[in-house]
Structure 1
Amino acid sequence: MGSVVSVNRDKLHQFSKASGRQITLVTGKGVLGDAHCGETVQHRSRVAKDPSQPNLRQVHLIHEELFAELREKGFAIAPGDLGENITTRNIDLLGLPRGTKLKIGADAIIEITGLRNPCLQLDRFSKGLMQAVLSRDENSQLIRKAGVMAIVERGGTISIGDQINLELPPAPRIALNVV
Structure 2
Amino acid sequence: MLEGRTRFNGPTFTLVNRLRRAAWQLFSLLFFRFSPVPCHRYRLLLLILWGAKVSLRSGAHVYPDARIWAPWNLALEEYASIGPRVNCYNIAKITVGPRAIVSQGAYLCTGTHDYDDPDFPLYARPIALQARSWVCTEAFVGPGVTVHEGAVLGARAVATKDIDAWQVHAGNPASYRKTRNRIPGN
Q: After TM superposition, is the score higher than 0.5? A: no
Which protein shows a greater Rg? 2
Shorter-chain TM-score tier? under 0.3
Q: TM-score, normalised by structure 2?
A: 0.24
Q: TM-score, normalised by structure 1?
A: 0.24
Task: Give the structure with the higher percent strand.
Answer: 1
